[in-house]
Structure 1
């Protein structure tokens, strides 16, 4: 595979490194690129314990952009599970639906742990999300072990290592829960005003619920405000002020000048009449 790609490409270097790190399966997850495509990976994750997905083994695809890791991957589940739609790109803070929240330091392993951590959470109408009943999800979890991927030939019974006894509180489970909690808190939790807690705490934070056009208009408005010398952050722009004191002085001067001119005309007129009478 190495001869097919530019080994100087940052994306190729990163993916080959991650492929080496994830080569050996664990009892919780496994992922590897296809033999003929370094930018498409197939993965398998075990359902989180103490949830409706406990005992399930779920398979899916990860499609990576050419400029990975600067842009996020797209994640697609292939095993029916009752939480994510099958064959559709799912909407997570670490997926291609939210490039504004993606961090280049995240990896395919991060995505696997996030999927495990997000499975027990509510879909709440997100793209590619489902809200099946607990009974339906448990039934699908049992059937998932018989799934076989036509794309890579993996069978769920053989992909992952056997689950060790007492591993419910393993490091992978704890990482998955913590990762889902952090991402949900940072980008998904809503306050009564409809903003995320991250947005409410930081003025100018990106609002992921806005359309691209609305975000551009918001950025342009912020730039205009920040460029104005009369604007102080956190305050309304000051109104234009006129120097009314200077105008009043000018009016007084003009009035006195006009009065003096009138007085002079009256004085000259009276003097002329007096001379004429003499």
Structure 2
């Protein structure tokens, strides 16, 4: 690599990436990563599928896009090999990726991101951005097919890994488990928040105009017909009429109070909220 003439080697990002490129120069059994010859801020990587999972035996290739503010800002990770866990050619939503800059720590590195990616593969997608929930059979089939996958820039990806094993240290394992847990918690919290909002909207739904009874329907429902008996005398009919008139006046008053109240609620619903 001869990036000295192309980049400002005094830049913190350039110094950091050149140091990481030297540290990751030798491939391992778990991963391989290298910057492109003409772009220090774009890396290609290959990771081995985690053993004892649906991805065992799989070899997965992808891109890492690093911001010029790295390591103060996180990278974006894109997988190119079909795998059944992450969408291809789409930025993955992880707590160590550009989707969550608030959780990124400058002490993390490309190696940390690769190890965390391997650890994330067997975890549930839970609907996060770029996640897939293929069946175990489909993932195992894709793992077998991945062994013959080739990158137009890097060639056959299975040849990039070596037989040298360099598993995570105890400190890295603890850190990665915390990263994975945080990522899953964020997904669960987001899902619970959406459910709470949906329930609140349903419970706060008020009566619509279609559900409001009209004054005419109210009159038809409450009006009571009380025909006079044929044997009623003229003296008896007169007090009955007076009583009925008083009752009807009371009913009408109640009806109009209800109509005004309903109209006020409709006006408030449509214009004041």
Residues 6 and 184 of structure 1: CA distance in aligned 2, closer, same or farther (over 3 Å): same
Question: Distance in 2 between the 1:54 and 1:173 partners?
Answer: 21
Whether the aligned pair in 1 keeps the contact of 2:30 and 2:167 (CA below 8 Å) is no
- Please report how far the alpha carbon of residue 180 of structure 1 lies from its aligned counterpart in structure 2 after TM superposition: 3.8
Residues 190 and 156 of structure 1: CA distance in aligned 2, closer, same or farther (over 3 Å): closer
1:183 maps to 2:185 = no
Q: Which residue of 163, 171, 175 maps to 2:167?
A: 171
Question: Distance in 1 between the 2:35 and 2:127 partners?
Answer: 30
Q: Which residue of 124, 127, 130 maps to 1:128?
A: 130
Whether the aligned pair in 2 keeps the contact of 1:48 and 1:173 (CA below 8 Å) is no
Aligned to 2:242: none
Any gaps of 5 or more consecutive residues in structure 2?
Answer: 194-273
Q: How does 1:194-233 map to 2 (within 5 A)?
A: 194=189
Could you state the TM-score of these two structures normalised by the residue count of structure 1? 0.64
Aligned length: 190
Question: Distance in 2 between the 1:175 and 1:126 partners?
Answer: 27
Measured against aligned partners, the alpha-carbon deviations of 1:42-97 in whole angstroms (never above 9, x if no partner) come to: 00000000000000010000000000000000000000000000000000000000
Q: CA RMSD in A?
A: 2.5
Whether the aligned pair in 2 keeps the contact of 1:28 and 1:172 (CA below 8 Å) is no
- Please report how far the alpha carbon of residue 156 of structure 1 lies from its aligned counterpart in structure 2 after TM superposition: 2.0
Whether the aligned pair in 1 keeps the contact of 2:116 and 2:180 (CA below 8 Å) is no
Residues 191 and 129 of structure 1: CA distance in aligned 2, closer, same or farther (over 3 Å): closer
Q: Which residue of 93, 96, 117 maps to 1:94?
A: 96
Q: How does 1:109-128 map to 2 (within 5 A)?
A: 109-128=111-130
Question: Distance in 1 between the 2:122 and 2:82 partners?
Answer: 15
Whether the aligned pair in 2 keeps the contact of 1:73 and 1:96 (CA below 8 Å) is yes
Aligned to 1:236: none
- Please report how far the alpha carbon of residue 147 of structure 1 lies from its aligned counterpart in structure 2 after TM superposition: 0.6
Whether the aligned pair in 1 keeps the contact of 2:63 and 2:79 (CA below 8 Å) is yes
Question: Distance in 2 between the 1:114 and 1:180 partners?
Answer: 5
Question: Distance in 2 between the 1:87 and 1:71 partners?
Answer: 21
1:161 maps to 2:162 = yes
Measured against aligned partners, the alpha-carbon deviations of 1:86-145 in whole angstroms (never above 9, x if no partner) come to: 000000000000000000000000000011000000111111110000000000000001
Question: Distance in 2 between the 1:56 and 1:43 partners?
Answer: 14
1:70 maps to 2:72 = yes
Whether the aligned pair in 2 keeps the contact of 1:72 and 1:96 (CA below 8 Å) is yes
Q: How does 1:138-149 map to 2 (within 5 A)?
A: 138-149=140-151
1:3 maps to 2:18 = no
Residues 47 and 174 of structure 1: CA distance in aligned 2, closer, same or farther (over 3 Å): farther
Residues 174 and 18 of structure 1: CA distance in aligned 2, closer, same or farther (over 3 Å): same
Residues 45 and 190 of structure 1: CA distance in aligned 2, closer, same or farther (over 3 Å): closer
SS of 2:34 mapped into structure 1: strand
SS of 1:114 mapped into structure 2: helix
Any gaps of 5 or more consecutive residues in structure 1?
Answer: 197-206, 208-278
Could you state the TM-score of these two structures normalised by the residue count of structure 2? 0.65
Aligned to 1:203: none
